[in-house]
Structure 1
Amino acid sequence: MPKSLISLLLFIIVSLGGNLCHAETRIIEIPLTLDFSLLRSFLVRQAYKGPMESAQVVNKDEGCTQIKLWNPVIGRENGNLKITNQIKVKAGVKLLGMCLDPVSWQGKVEVIQSPAFDPDTWIFSVKTLDSRLLDEKGEPAFVANIIYSLVREYVHAYLDQFKVNLSTPKRDLEIQLPLFFKDDKRREVESWLKTLRPGLPEMTDQGVKIELAMRVAEPVPTEQEEELPDEEVVTDLTQGDRQAFIKYWETWDAYLVREIKALAGEPLTRKEKDVLLEVVLKTRHQFFEILDSGHTDQDLVRKQFLWSWQRLAPILRHHLLDEPHGSLFSFLSFFTAADALAVLDRLGPSLGLEISESGLMRLARLVAKDQKYHSLSYSYERDSLLQKILGLPPLPPPTGPGLDVEDIPLEDFGVDDREQRSGRIWDWLVKPAWAGKGPTGLEEIKPWLYWRTDSEKYFKAVFTLVDHACQDALAKDGLDPKYHELFLKIARASAWQESCWRQFIKKDKSVTYLRSYNQSSVGLMQINERVWRGVYEPKSLCWDIKYNVRAGAGILELYFRRYALKRLGNDHNLDDSTLAGLIYAMYNGGPGQYKKYLKRHAVKKYWLSDRLFAEKFTQVKAGDLGKCLDCLRTGG
């Protein structure tokens, strides 16, 4: 009889005496997965405590008989576990204080073990079935019988002591799961958890999986969404609702960052970093778009949590479970809880699943390597660790002003409105960037108050500044040189489109930095503060024009190289104008715009922002920049 059928029959027999009384219920299975890397970490922590992950299995008769194991590797062989070790055996006879005729051999040993699980104690264990000795090349070894006998006597018994008590993740699941349901549903969820019964262990390509069967109320089933959904449930927001929605999402975004930062110090591949970055950018851009619409999707956090989990779980499992540190049980609890949420979500929204702040807080503590309490605070300050994990090259430290103010009175600049400042821009460009001229940093801002100087000279200065920032971005990364000129033109057109080349504007009798109509983006390159939270210094984006332009150039280069060219391939058939439009669409709306823009292009139904950028790019490409001056002169 198949194991899964036996497990189901046992569950039904036990649950008949339960206290859950729903007219319609169904049995779901929550996977508790012991990845091979996790099992190895547990094994090393228990049994390989010597130097370089070694184990002295036996050492008797004053060293006459010894067995040493090291470098264990765990995998599968059919329906069993296979542990491969380096092994060194010494066998002799102790007589009159001497070790007579010792035989030594070194090679590999493969130990085949059957996994077992006690549903009463929740203890996972193993039983050795057989072993094989191999030479260093992996071929069957021919050794003396005494070597075989010692291995079977001591190695089998030593490795059979390996056990993992899974009551901790079970207990954590019982605590965690109710936190992800609405208050009026939690008592019912607790009753579901009383029916939780483990099945028999099964071998998978990933490791050992134990299905935890649980009886839940039967909701209306819905299909699982494979992509981050675009549509939102439109709900008009009061001011109070809006603030609550923002705070709720900010807690989720802070949790997502905490989850990603658990990978600090891990040898992430470029592909893994790309996945992490895309998750961050897509979820943030989607939130911003919904917020900007004036409506909300009340299930947004739940959808984003589950969508991101599908993409992050393989990376987190691969890197967090391969070290025998003290966080292993917490990580196992973390993965089990998150997998349970994914299973429950497939039953449909009527189940009442809700990603609560308290639930996120507890998951954050589980995934923290240092196991300390962490708040999920939402800060705009630059996070160099997050920047490194996402694979983003750091900008040079800001050397210009990073003021903690919203505006500055015109009189503080000490310059009369009628004063002509024809030479200062060029003086600035040939001197070391942002050379300090005063304690407040206002001298560095003066050259960029475009209404105080000749517009042609101002434009040439900003144009040069954008080009220098592009050269810096191209020097850091590997964009093919054949695209360098195109990249410069895209950056120029983007600066024109985003801000009409302005970092600062005059407001009443004050100077302030340029903000977008919806207050989300700042400066000449209109960097979205929410989307790029933690990546750039927020005050410098506002008050340091050079820093802002460098950030924008870096973002454009990122979308060009890591998104457009990577997905299109070197043999793409897009002309320069279409490729430029695609890159700007992502700059403006995130990586989700890659497919959307190409769909719009295919049917020639462009957004207004697409058309406006295309006009500017055409003029930049042709060298016709006369309208740039008109833009500056009219302020629009």
Structure 2
Amino acid sequence: MRRLAVLLAPILWLSTARAAEVSFPLTVDYALLGRALRETLTADQTGDIVLWGTATGCRSLVLRDVAIDAAQERARIVARGRARVGFGFLRFCFAPLSWDGYLDSLATPEVGRDWQLRFRDLDSHLYDGQHRRTVVASRLWEVVKSRVEERFEAFHFDLAPPIDEASALIRASVAPERAEPVVAALRTLRPRAVTAQESGVRVEIAIDVPPEPPAVPTPEAPLGPEELQRWQAALESWDAFLVFVIKDLGIAGHDREVRSELFDLLLSSRHELLVALAGEPQPGVDPVRQLFLRSWDRLHDVVRRAALSGTLEGRALRYATFLAAGDALAAVDAAGPSLGLEISADGLRRLARLLEPEFTGDPLAYSEEPDPALRELFDFHEPSASPPLEPEPAAPPSAWWWPGPRDAHAAELPASDALAALVRRLDRWVPDDHELSVYRDTLDRLLDHVAAEARERNALDARVVPIFPHLVKTVAWQESCWRHFVRQNGKVTYLLSRTGDIGLMQVNRRVWRGFFDLRKLEWDVAYNGGVGAEILAQLLTRYGQKEADHQLDNAARATYSAYNGGPGAYRRYRLARVPRAQRAIDRAFFEKYRAMSAGQALDFVLCVEHWGRPAAT
């Protein structure tokens, strides 16, 4: 037995040392194949394709509307056509057989080592206008079948460009000193299986990944300041890449469901980015790789759905190449972590330019400026800016000062003047203890204003209109205790959290980058409140209303869960398995929301202990 174990040991070692075969898919849409086939068969200006004879001659076969789809687990070439077979004499056609109907040809797709997709084993038939086989069609088909099938079998579609791009992306993702095993693996790329599926012809691409050597732990020093900056820049490059791809895909198509999924993907990825930035950087760990692998499958699925919906017409090959390259990188990285692949900025640029080869700028340019295209893509609205701050008007005679007109004067001032008075009073105001009640009432009026504007801009469903003002005010209570400005080192500044949440509504600068003006978020309390209300209106429509059927208040709870944790968290408030800290956040919000809805929030919105006592002296 011991001898047997000794004999088995080298066999076991050899089996584990063998390269592992990894595969990734390349799917070619039928619309793309159909267009390529029509170009190969050479359609004239009217769309007619003459496969035999002349279009008006005594012997002719003319096809039009050539397309490819799937049937009976094979590819199917379909076309409308007409044919005539007779004897020509002195420009006359005697005893002609005529046909007008449909051509249907089943074919098996195959891909050779030359990466050419071809159709083989054709099984073709002619049908009349009612898709029936007839004697005339059968006799005609005996004459023209070989000519038609020869043309179909001569067709080939070149898959080498997407495979070359996938190879180039993988090569660009490894350092030169570690490139040799990667290059060796890329030489083994080969087609493994070809199937005709509903979405297109799917080609499984195989590659042999070398075995992973035994890990030798080596301690690494903590990251220095410059390395930390590069680490953060790498994460920002990933966010810029994702925005570039999402805008390209969203603008190319007009499918609202696809755009909704893209919005969900963008916000979810940005919340994951916050988690990565809040964590401790690990030496030798590529932060972008983890975000890429978590997001890629979702992005892949959205692109495939967009292709199936027909929104990528004319750009299908670009997206097929993009998906193949990303799939290859993800598959090879997952199977061979020892290869040391990194999702570098150059690699992301290369992947992004597969979608827009003519783009002359940097697809990874990271900017905090507002992006009107991004806002328009997802139907977000720019909140009204605060009116210019002008000198405060004199108070009416015998009136004590109030933020905005008293009731007797309210009708005399337009809404813009009333808002200007509110903003003027709140600008850089950090209230002392004796001002808290006035501050509370002033901010309450501002929140009423921004909630009403957001409700009108977004045309909220009538069911949720009554809860929306309570939702806006409760979120401001939960997030900032109705504060926007604070004192630090004797100076007034805006409220800012460690993770980049700004002001009254604690709008995160990274999550909402491009949607809004960050400078205004910092110093304009009315704009900050308007942005928070706009976000809440959007999240309420997209996620909160899904939870409203059982109980209307659940819409508010779901909306806040999404506001706090991203789209994937909108059901968090009612799930059984939730981290304790997140459960506490959702419970605290709901307690505040119920108090706000019942009119019992009172002074608690300012989170001031011992409310009403004289200020300490």
TM-score range (shorter-chain normalised) is 0.7 to 0.9
Give deviations 1:142-195, integer Å, cap 9, x for gaps: 645564346525433333332112222232233221222344422220111123
Query: Residue 166 in 1 paired to residue 144 in 2?
Result: no
Equivalent in the alignment of 1:77: 71
Give the superposition deviation at 1:239.
3.3
Residue in structure 1 matched with residue 593 of structure 2 by the alignment = 617
TM-aligned CA deviation for residue 553 of structure 1: 1.9
1:591-632 Cα shifts (integer Å, max 9, x gaps): 243354434688987655445434432321221242157559
Residues 1:470 and 2:451 are matched in the alignment: yes
Is the 1:364–1:374 Cα contact (8 Å) retained in structure 2?
no
Cα distance between partner residues in 1 of 2:560 and 2:339: 41
Aligned CA distance change for structure 1 residues 269 and 220 (closer, same or farther; 3 Å): farther
Distance (whole Å) between structure 1 residues aligned to residue 591 and residue 55 of structure 2: 88
Count of aligned residue pairs for this structure pair = 581
Q: 1:594 aligns with which of 570, 573, 589?
A: 570
In 2 relative to 1, CA 363–625 (structure 1 residues): closer, same or farther, beyond 3 Å?
same
| Partner in structure 2 of residue 55 of structure 1 | 49
Q: Which residue is 1:148 aligned to?
A: 141
Distance 1:378 1:554 in 2: 24
Query: Which segments of 5 or more consecutive residues in structure 2 lack a partner in the other structure?
Result: 1-14, 215-219
Change (3 A) 1:296 1:68: farther
Contact (CA 8 Å) 1:168, 1:329: kept in 2 or not?
no
Name the residue aligned to 2:469: 488
Confirm or deny: 8 A CA contact 2:404 2:418 kept in the other structure. Answer: no
Equivalent pair of 1:399/1:434 in contact (CA under 8 Å): no
Aligned partner (choices 352, 356, 359) of residue 368 of structure 1: 356
Q: Which of 94, 110, 120 is 1:116 aligned to? A: 110
TM-score between the two structures when normalised by the length of structure 2:
0.79
Q: 1:90, 1:102 within 8 Å by CA — same for their partners in 2?
A: yes
The offset of 1:254, in angstroms, is: 1.0
Map Cα deviations across residues 252-288 of structure 1 (whole Å, 9 max, x no partner): 1111112222214444544433322222112211221
What is the rounded CA distance, in whole Å, between the counterparts of 2:425 and 2:145 in structure 1?
A: 82
Cα distance in 2 for partners of 1:142, 1:493 equals 78
8 Å Cα contact 2:104/2:125 also seen in 1: yes
Instruction: Please say which structure displays the higher CA radius of gyration.
Output: 2
Q: Which runs of 5+ in 1 are unaligned?
A: 1-20, 222-233, 403-411, 438-442
1:515 corresponds to:
495
Deviates more, 1:374-383 or 1:626-635: 626-635
- 1:60 counterpart letter in structure 2: T
Contact 1:400–1:444, Cα closer than 8 Å, also in 2: no
Write the distance in 2 (CA, Å) between the matches of 1:425 and 1:543: 24
Q: Distance in 2 between matches of 1:138 and 1:399?
A: 64
Paired amino acid for 1:589: G
Q: Is the CA contact (8 Å cut-off) linking 1:85 and 1:108 kept in structure 2? A: yes
Question: CA 1:569–1:491 in 2, change beyond 3 Å: closer, same or farther?
Answer: closer
For residues 606 and 382 of structure 1, do their structure 2 counterparts lie closer, same or farther at Cα, with a shift above 3 Å needed? closer
SS at match of 1:32: strand
Q: 1:444 to 1:630 in 2, by over 3 A?
A: closer
Write out aligned runs for 1:563-602 (5 A).
563-566=543-546, 568=547, 570=549, 572=550, 576=553, 580-594=556-570, 596-599=572-575
Q: Which residue of 1 aligns with 2:210?
A: 217
CA contact (8 A) 2:303 2:319 kept: no
> Distance in 1 between the 2:47 and 2:165 partners?
30
Retained in 2: the 8 A contact 1:262–1:369?
A: no
Partner of 2:12: none
Question: How far is the alpha carbon of 1:520 from its aligned partner?
Answer: 1.0
Distance 2:42 2:385 in 1: 52
Match of 1:339? 327
The answer to whether structure 1 residue 431 and structure 2 residue 414 are counterparts is yes
Cα distance change on mapping 1:343 and 1:519 into 2, 3 Å = closer
What's the C-alpha RMSD, in Å, of the aligned pairs?
A: 4.3
1:18-29 matched pairs, under 5 angstroms: 23-29=17-23
CA distance in 2, matches of 1:83, 1:38: 13
Select 1:537's aligned residue among 517, 526, 530: 517
Partner in structure 1 of residue 374 of structure 2:
386
Residues 212 and 582 from structure 1, CA distance in 2 versus in 1: closer, same or farther, beyond 3 angstroms?
closer
Decide which of 259, 262, 273 is 1:287's aligned counterpart. 273
Q: Which amino acid aligns with 1:622?
A: A
Residue 448 (structure 1) aligned to one of 426, 435, 459: 426
Q: Distance in 2 between matches of 1:196 and 1:500?
A: 59
The structure-2 alpha-carbon separation of the partners of 1:92 and 1:465, relative to structure 1 and needing over 3 Å to count, comes to farther
| Distance 1:356-1:503 versus aligned 2 partners, 3 A rule | same
Q: CA distance change for structure 1 residues 239 and 115 in 2, over 3 Å: closer, same or farther? A: same
The one-character-per-residue Cα deviations of 1:202-259 (angstroms, maximum 9, x if unpaired) are: 43444333333322212389xxxxxxxxxxxx99654333322210011111111122
Q: 1:594 to 1:52 in 2, by over 3 A?
A: farther
C-alpha contact 1:41 1:324 (8 A) present in aligned 2? no
Aligned partners of 1:136 and 1:569: how far apart in 2? 52
Opposite residue 290 of structure 2, the aligned amino acid is K
Residues 476, 422 of structure 1: alpha-carbon distance in 2 compared, 3 angstrom cutoff: closer
Q: Does the CA-based 8 Å contact 2:209-2:336 persist in structure 1?
A: no
2:302 aligned residue (315, 325, 333): 315
Question: SS in structure 2 opposite 1:186?
Answer: helix
Distance 1:581 1:104, change over 3 A: same
1:217 partner letter: P
1:175 to 168, 185, 192: 168
- Contact 2:116 / 2:157 at 8 angstroms: preserved in 1? yes
Does the CA contact (< 8 Å) of 2:274 and 2:499 recur in 1? Answer: no
Alpha-carbon distance change, 497 to 210 in structure 1, aligned in 2, over 3 angstroms: closer
Q: Deviations over 1:444-486 (max 9, x none)?
A: 9524324589765654453344334334444455754333322
The equivalent position to 1:355 in structure 2, one of 328, 333, 343, is 343
SS in structure 1 opposite 2:170?
A: helix
**Letter paired with 1:76:** A
Residue 286 and residue 519 in structure 1: after superposition, are their counterparts in 2 closer, same or farther (change >3 A)?
A: closer
Match of residue 531 from structure 2: 551
Per the TM alignment, residue 293 of structure 1 is displaced from its structure 2 partner at its CA by: 4.3
Percent of paired sites with the same residue: 29
Contact 1:72 1:85 in 2 (8 A): yes
Aligned to 1:226: none
Deviation at 1:590, TM superposition (A): 1.4
Q: Find the counterpart in structure 2 of residue 526 from structure 1.
A: 506
Between the aligned partners of 1:521 and 1:316, the Cα distance in structure 2 is 32
* Deviations 1:533-580 (CA, angstroms, capped at 9, x unpaired): 1222333433444443332223223333322443x473x4x683x654
- Gap change, CA 1:354 and 1:436, over 3 Å in 2: same
What's the secondary structure of 2:570's corresponding residue? helix
- Is 1:303 the counterpart of 2:290? The answer is yes
Corresponding position of 2:482: 501
Residue identity opposite 2:368 in structure 1: Y
3-state SS of the aligned residue for 2:154? coil
* 1:116 CA displacement: 3.2
Letter in 2 for 1:188: P
1:98-113 alignment to 2 at 5 Å? Answer: 98-99=92-93, 105-113=99-107
Counterparts of 2:313 and 2:275, CA distance in 1 = 41
Give the superposition deviation at 1:92. Answer: 5.4
Q: Bigger CA drift: 324-333 or 619-628?
A: 324-333
Distance 1:545 1:125 in 2: 63
